[in-house]
Amino acid sequence: MAVKDKNNDLKKVENDKINIVVKNKRRIIPIILLLVLILIGITIITNKKGDIYKITSKSSLQKIIEINELSTVKYSYNAIARKYNGKEEKADNIEYYVKYEGFVNAGIDFNEVDIKVDDKNKKITITLPDVEIHDTSVDIGSLKYIFVTKKKEEDSISQEAYKLCKSDLKNRAEKEDELKNIAKQNAISALKGILDPWLDSLNEEYELEFK
Amino acid sequence: MKKVKMVILLILTLSLVTGCTKNKFDTELSLAKIKSICEMATLKTYYHNVAVLEKEAGSGLAHIFEKDREMWVEYTGIAKIGIDMSKLDIDVNGKTIKIILPAAEILSLDIDTDDFSKDSFIYSEDSIINKNEITADDQTQAINNAQENMRKSIEANSQLMTNAQDRAKELITNYINQIGDLAGIEYKIEWSSKN
């Protein structure tokens, strides 16, 4: 009987212990959750991504070249270039997209303009050189990226993207058939504009011909 | 009931972590624009540019062990300088020609892609545990800053701008002399500047 009571007492103590543990667990879990919430809150509030705090740059003049470019048309473009992984240009192969702004200038070499005057026939003939592309310029500050595949810092993507955009712009400009025609027509207008004051001042009327 | 309370607490916790995101939509028309211009570029200048970008490590638990970083970029910038011919004024009075020349300006800025590569970039050591990456946008910002600095440097170089304007004078003088030679007339040119 005493043993039985003792066993009952032991069981009671064990049950009490279990109850205490369960009660403690029930108190501890919310406390732990609260602590986690506080920790997350602190992380969110104090979390701040690193900022660029300084950019400095120095420029030194290396060389100067004399040129004679009369640009008469400007082709401005906002576009998106795509970098493909491999030679096949398909959607599955795109590594990243880059949005850019740029322009292409076309015109003539002003020094190559040839002028001939035929006094007998009262004719001035101006021969223009071929129209050339003078500038394919991309504004590097306008570059924005969307990456499909992860890029490492060491890849120095900006230089690759810049060249990609220049090439893209050049290809788009070459497809504009009217670009060189407009450049030539504008060059003719510009030269005519410079010559008109002479023609007005001449006593005789001269015919102006552009080739 | 107690299990339900736990689930609700968990959901609240998760919602705090994910937070709210703000979507920003920018729509821009892709636009090709062809414009008539009349610009005479007379000088092409090459500048050696070095840009230094310093990026601080982030703060807070998520950025623990991050390091401050530095990136250097070395490249050649190109600028074309000349005049806007549409602002030129020419007045012919007999054998005297009066020309009012506009001030020289920067017509274009570019980067020499021949020597612009991965080797142009140098990075300081990054942390192994928590990286503070210098992103493509950071690189772009540094180079753009250097280009703008180059622009200011050129504009402040009055000698260079004057040389560009003088070169334009030379080219226009040659053109006029060609006409004069052919017409058998020696023109006298009077120059003045629009500043």
Overall number of domains in chain B: 1
Residue B187 lies in a domain: yes
Residue of A39, A57, A116 lying closest to B145 (CB–CB):
A57
Per-residue pLDDT tens over the stretch A95-104: 999 999 999 9
Terminal-to-terminal C-alpha distance of chain A:
130
Q: CA dihedral in degrees (A68, A70, A76, A81; nearest 10)?
A: -30
In this structure, the number of other CB atoms found within 10 A of the CB of residue B107 comes to 26
Q: What CA–CA distance (Å, rounded) separates B166 from B169? A: 5
- More confident of the two residues B14 and B130: B130
- Tell me the backbone φ, ψ of residue A53, rounded to 5 degrees: -105, -10
- Asked if residue B9 belongs to a domain, the reply is no
Q: Which tokens hold the place of B66?
A: 């991050």
pLDDT at site A73? 94
User: In this complex, do B54 and A197 lie within 8 Å of one another by their Cβ atoms?
Assistant: no
Most A CBs within 10 Å, among B99, B140, B150, to test the A interface: B140
Structure tokens at A98: 């880059």
Q: Whole-angstrom Cα distance, residue B63 to residue B132?
A: 8
Q: Taking residues A117-133, what's their average pLDDT?
A: 89
Residue-averaged pLDDT of chain B = 84
Could you tell me the residue range of the domain that residue B82 belongs to? 39-194
- pLDDT, residue A8, reads 79
| Phi–psi pair at A5, nearest 5 degrees | -60, -40
DSSP state of A204: S
Residue A164: the pLDDT is 96
Q: Which residue of B has its CA nearest to A180?
A: B34
B101 in a structural domain:
yes
Going by C-beta distance under 8 Å and a sequence separation of 6 or more, which residues neighbour residue B131? B66
Share of chain A residues as helix, strand and coil, in percent rounded to the nearest 5:
45, 35, 15
In this model, does residue B15 exceed pLDDT 70?
no
Whether A159 has a pLDDT exceeding 70, the answer reads yes
Chain A interface mutation, best of B40, B160, B172, B186, highest count of A Cβ atoms under 10 Å: B40
Quick one: average pLDDT of A42-66?
86
Q: Do A115 and B80 touch (CB under 8 A)?
A: no
- Could you tell me if residue B21 is inside a domain? no
Whether the per-residue pLDDT at B19 is higher than 70: the answer is no
Residue A115 pLDDT grade (very low, low, confident, very high; cuts 50, 70, 90):
confident
Interface of B with A in 37-66 (CB under 8 A): 37-63, 66
Q: Does B101 touch chain A (CB under 8 A)?
A: no
pLDDT value for B79: 97
DSSP A137: E
Which candidate in A96, A114, A126, A140 is best for mutational testing of the B interface (most B CBs within 10 A)?
Answer: A140
Contact A78 B30 (CB under 8 A): yes
3-state secondary structure chain B: CHHHHHHHHHHHHHHHHHCCCCCCCCCCCCCEEEEEEEEEEEEEEEEEEEEEEEECCCECHHHCCCCCEEEEEEEEEEEEEEEEHHHCEEEEECCEEEEEEECCEEEEEEECHHHCCHHHEEECCCCCCCCCCCCHHHHHHHHHHHHHHHHHHHHHCHHHHHHHHHHHHHHHHHHHHHHHHHHCCCCEEEEEEEC
Has residue B3 been placed in a domain?
Answer: no
Statement: residue B147 has pLDDT above 60 = yes
Q: Whole-angstrom Cα distance, residue A178 to residue A79? A: 19
Whether residue B26 is contained in a domain is answered as no
Tell me what the mean pLDDT of segment A151-168 comes to.
Answer: 91
Q: Which H or E run includes A47?
A: none
Please tell me the predicted confidence (pLDDT) of residue B106: 97
Q: Which of B35, B44, B167 sits opposite A74 (nearest CB)?
A: B35
Q: How many residues does chain B have?
A: 195
Parse chain A into domains and list their residue ranges. Answer: 1-45, 69-210
ipTM of the complex: 0.80
